[in-house]
Amino acid sequence: MRTGTTTVEIRESEIYQALERAEQCDPACLRDVFAKARAARGLHPSEVATLTTVQEPDLLEELFATAREVKHTIYGKRLVLFAPLYISNLCANECLYCAFRASNREVKRRALTQEEIAREVKTLIEQGHKRILLVAGESYPRQGFQYVLDSLATVYSVKSGPGEVRRVNVNIAPLTLDEFRLLKQARIGTYQLFQETYHRETYARVHRGGKKMDYDWRLSAMDRAMEAGIDDVGIGILFGLADWRFEILALLQHIAHLEARFGVGPHTISVPRLEPAVGSALSQHPPHPVSDLDFRKIVAILRLAVPYTGIIMSTRETAQLRRETFALGVSQISAGSRTNPGGYAEGEYDPEAEQFSLGDHRALDEVIRDVAQMGYIPSFCTACYRLGRTGGDFMDLAKPGEIKHHCDPNALSTFQEYLLDYASPATREVGERLIAQTLAGMDSRTRKISERLLAQVKEGKRDVYC
Ligand code: SAM
Ligand code: SF4
């Protein structure tokens, strides 16, 4: 671990100054920033601030084109897929935007039993999922935090046919250092937590009760997680609460702090936008709504600011917007999601128990077919996590471009598993065509590795990776 300041703080006045100075940047100055961004080594916060000012159609198109180029260079055509698993909607907090907040009587409360969790996981496995994001409100049944640990053990224990869950990421409230150590021992992949808003005053306005009122406890969570040995952490912003330009620069300060202190920044950034939630007036009228165009700008700017950090987009967004955003920088998407506990095994989604309304209700197979038709390789790869290529080790491979020789073959082999074990005939046809096209476009080294893995999968082996 490198030394560096142990406390994370967001320097608001610095952000306002950077945003003010950015207004002076003319087209020539913006084009300099695009040129630097094209090298895919990231940008200084002052340069990122200038990108937030882009309005004019030609410059916007240049911004998007640069983001597409960087995205393509680093991630190629892979798109990692996962499903959220809501184990409980009990919550003691009062986040004004969320249906699960304690005082909301319009939501049916439920914490799944271990048997119910196993049923959910079996359903997800039988759809073809391999990567799960475990989600819960901040109030556990009587077992307390042990409930989360038991749930993780349950998820990893379920097998169905040729399938199993190979990586469980978690999105749960901030923990103590000791609790993070237990989470690490439970073999989680990424620990994910969104600051929601980095703007302290807004944070206080929208978090009105419970432990989550403590801005600093939440902001320092990733420090505790990384101190506890969790290498992959995922941060995020709930867009719509405060000015998105401010939020992006604040997020970069958070990243810079983690890089200075631990030598590596977050593994992923999530970009949820505020969606309507039952019993939440604030969610119906976000204080700082983010338009679709601004949302695409946000994704493009983040792609250029931190090229090697994954960007996650959920089913909060519609299928159309998701399609438009893949090329700009998104590297992971959820699919076939339910945000009500029990929603997978019990079939139809229940609007009275879900956290917020979804924009994309399509089943996994339909999403996969759509993504494949667009030329993206749906990937269920979990190789890095299982080989211990996490945190700094992952970045050491990613930055010189070496990771591609692993990611592309692993994406293809996990996609091939999906096609053989779970796909509908229509998806299988589209998928097989895509695999053949992808192999044809590969350099000979990567093609050889890919062909070896694909042959193993076709012979009946599962979970092969490099
Ligand atoms: N309860 C934990 C917490 O708040 O950190 C973790 C789970 S919480 C269910 C996951 C995330 O859902 C929150 O961090 C928040 O960003 C997001 N969320 C809450 N209400 C939302 C809404 N109305 N629209 C979109 N996302 C929302
Ligand atoms: Fe609870 Fe998380 Fe929803 Fe806040 S966002 S009410 S902490 S579940």
Ligand 2 centroid to residue 278 C-alpha, Å: 13
Higher pLDDT, 220 or 386: 220
Q: For residue 422, is it left (φ>0), alpha (ψ between -120 and 50) or beta?
A: alpha
pLDDT at 5 over 80: no
**278 Cβ inside 6 Å of ligand 1:** no
Q: Give the number of the atom of ligand 1 that is nearest the alpha carbon of residue 273.
A: 25
Burial environment of residue 83 by CB neighbours within 10 A (0 to 12, 13 to 18, 19 or more): buried
pLDDT at 2 over 50: no
Ligand 2 pocket test, candidate residues 87, 94, 212, most atoms within 8 A of CB: 212
Ligand 2 centroid to residue 82 C-alpha, Å: 21
239: which DSSP letter? B
Mean pLDDT on 223-245? 97
Ligand 2 centroid to residue 95 C-alpha, Å: 6
**191 Cβ inside 6 Å of ligand 2:** no
Whole-angstrom distance, CA of residue 49 vs CA of residue 301: 9
Ligand 2 pocket test, candidate residues 87, 90, 98, 356, most atoms within 8 A of CB: 98
CA distances in angstroms from 208 to 78, 97, 213, 283, 417, listed in the order given: 40, 11, 6, 15, 47
Q: 117-146, pLDDT tens digit by residue?
A: 999 999 999 999 999 999 999 999 989 999
**pLDDT grade for 1, boundaries at 50, 70 and 90:** very low
pLDDT at 21 over 60: yes
Do 276 and 319 meet the contact criterion of CB atoms below 8 Å apart? no
pTM for this prediction = 0.96
Mean pLDDT on 272-301? 96
Ligand 2 centroid to residue 197 C-alpha, Å: 13
Say how many CA atoms lie within 13 Å of 174 toward its Cβ.
Answer: 22
Residue 332: name the closest of 399, 275, 267 by CA: 267
Q: Give the number of the atom of ligand 1 that is nearest the alpha carbon of residue 277.
A: 23
Q: Check if CATH label 3.20.20.70 holds for domain 77-362.
A: yes
Least confident interval from 35-44, 246-255, 347-356: 347-356
Ligand 1 centroid to residue 434 C-alpha, Å: 35
3-class SS of residue 316: coil
Q: 428-441, pLDDT tens digit by residue?
A: 999 999 999 999 99
Residue whose Cα lies nearest atom 20 of ligand 1: it is: 98
Q: 80-125, pLDDT tens digit by residue?
A: 999 999 999 999 999 999 999 999 999 999 999 999 999 999 999 9
Q: 327-362, pLDDT tens digit by residue?
A: 999 999 999 889 899 999 987 666 677 776 777 788
Mean pLDDT on 207-223? 98
Its sign, for the CA torsion 434, 436, 441, 445, is positive
Its sign, for the CA torsion 294, 299, 166, 222, is negative
